[in-house]
């Protein structure tokens, strides 16, 4: 069971009242509180940065609590199973697994839960499993999946020409097949070709053979991405149009959605070589894996858009999602 402490910051008038004690202005109280509670900076380091004593920082933090700038609430004990049931009910998902795992390597420690979902999908020899890309999928597969002999693994989208490790989708497909005792089918195509090149790839016999399996997928493993409004290290090529998707809260294999689950169109969506939105919604078990409070809105949007119907996450992320749903 878990005890949860939540810290709230009160909106305050940061102007200094006349005659207020030097070194204890509302603005300073707010600054010290943010550094300590939001940035997790130790009191001695805050003192060094602001040129104050550690005792003064301690006094200011106490004053911030007394003045209501910081409010700390200790919530009732909540267990992972209860969190999972709450998420299933609020997001309309058929299954949620919430694991109480350490923040470090959290995704890797969710591999067992993902395997459980795949096994419970009642896959059999010849069943098709689609594999997406991204850091979460990479970490899950590197941790290892349990054996489900005879399955066929296929990429959920093209990925050729991407150099970052977490976009090597054909390698994920190969490793997943090796771990489960199945057979891999590869897709040697980019995720976003030009319109002319897309037709060429779709006309290729080997590409057609793999893409035809998308209509037979019984389970899929995908990550839940964040919007691409600004460049980040290791990010695959993002089009200028994608950076303008200010209403999008996330994506599943480059299908963007808002927090209400409405799909967000962009110039390129019709050129994707990937499972379509309609195909994803027809798959009996689409397992979305996501860990990070920053992904709370994306998780909600992915569930409401019906691009996933199973969620595997950790306690911290589950709490953040429930807070945003409240």
Q: Span 2-76: which CATH code? A: 1.10.10.10
**45 three-class SS:** helix
Q: Which of 170, 181, 172, 122 is nearest to 146 (CA)?
A: 181
Element of type H or E holding 179: helix 169-180
Asked if the domains 2-76 and 80-325 are classified in one and the same CATH topology, the answer is: no
Contact 207/201 with Cβ under 8 angstroms? yes
Name 92's Cβ contacts closer than 8 Å, sequence gap at least 6: 303, 304
Distance CA 71, CA 6 (A): 8
pLDDT value at position 68? 85
Distance CA 226, CA 232 (A): 11
How many other C-beta atoms are found inside a 10 Å radius of the C-beta of residue 92?
A: 12
CATH fold label, 80-325: Rossmann fold (3.40.50)
Distance CA 228, CA 2 (A): 34
DSSP-derived secondary structure for 209-233: HHHHGGGGEEEEEEE-BPP-SS--T
Q: What is the pLDDT along the chain (326 residues), one digit of tens a residue?
A: 344 444 555 544 434 443 344 445 888 988 898 889 878 899 999 999 999 999 999 999 999 888 888 887 666 567 899 999 999 999 999 999 999 999 889 999 999 999 999 999 999 999 999 999 999 999 999 999 999 999 999 999 998 777 788 889 999 999 999 999 999 999 999 989 988 899 998 889 989 999 999 999 999 999 999 987 655 555 566 777 888 888 999 999 999 999 999 999 999 899 999 999 999 999 999 999 999 999 999 999 999 999 999 999 999 999 999 999 97
Strand partners, 125: none
Tokens describing residue 118: 């795949």
Name 299's Cβ contacts closer than 8 Å, sequence gap at least 6: 91, 224, 250, 288, 290, 311, 313, 317, 321
Contact 248/256 with Cβ under 8 angstroms? yes
Residue 263, phi then psi, degrees to nearest 5: -70, 140
Alpha helix segments (H runs only) across the chain: 26-33, 43-50, 54-66, 80-91, 111-120, 135-143, 169-180, 195-203, 205-212, 240-243, 277-282, 296-304, 315-325
pLDDT value at position 260? 97
Tokens describing residue 258: 């808002």
pLDDT value at position 37? 85
Q: Which of 228, 137, 233 is nearest to 176 (CA)?
A: 137
pLDDT value at position 8? 53
Would you list the domain boundaries of the chain?
A: 2-76, 80-325
């Amino acid at each position: 069971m878990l005890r949860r402490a939540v810290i709230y910051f009160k909106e305050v008038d940061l102007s200094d009242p006349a005659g207020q004690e030097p070194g204890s202005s509302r603005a300073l109280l707010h600054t010290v509180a943010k550094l300590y509670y939001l940035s997790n900076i130790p009191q001695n380091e805050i003192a060094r940065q602001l040129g104050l004593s550690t005792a003064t920082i301690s006094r200011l933090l106490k004053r911030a609590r007394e003045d209501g700038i910081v409010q700390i609430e200790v919530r009732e004990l909540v267990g992972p199973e209860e969190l999972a049931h709450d998420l299933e009910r609020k997001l309309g998902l058929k299954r949620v697994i919430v694991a109480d795992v350490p923040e470090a390597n959290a995704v890797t420690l969710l591999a067992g839960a993902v395997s459980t979902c795949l096994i419970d999908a009642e896959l059999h020899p010849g069943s098709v499993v689609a594999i997406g890309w991204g850091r979460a999928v990479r970490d899950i597969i590197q941790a290892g999946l349990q054996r489900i002999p005879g399955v066929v693994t296929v990429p959920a989208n093209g990925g050729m020409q991407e150099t970052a490790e977490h976009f090597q989708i054909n390698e994920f497909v190969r490793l997943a097949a090796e771990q489960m005792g199945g057979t891999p089918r590869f897709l040697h195509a980019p995720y976003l070709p030009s319109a002319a090149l897309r037709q060429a790839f779709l006309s290729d016999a080997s590409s057609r053979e793999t893409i035809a399996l998308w209509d037979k997928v019984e389970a899929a493993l995908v990550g839940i991405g964040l919007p691409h409004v600004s460049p980040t290290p290791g990010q695959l090529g993002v089009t200028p149009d994608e950076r303008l998707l200010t209403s999008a809260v996330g994506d599943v294999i480059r299908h963007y959605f808002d927090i209400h689950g409405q799909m967000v169109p962009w110039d390129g969506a019709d050129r994707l070589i990937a499972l379509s939105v309609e195909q994803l919604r027809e798959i009996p078990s689409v397992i979305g894996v996501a860990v990070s409070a920053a992904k709370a809105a994306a998780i909600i949007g992915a569930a409401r858009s019906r691009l996933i119907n199973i969620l595997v996450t950790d306690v911290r992320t589950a709490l953040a999602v429930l807070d945003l749903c409240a």
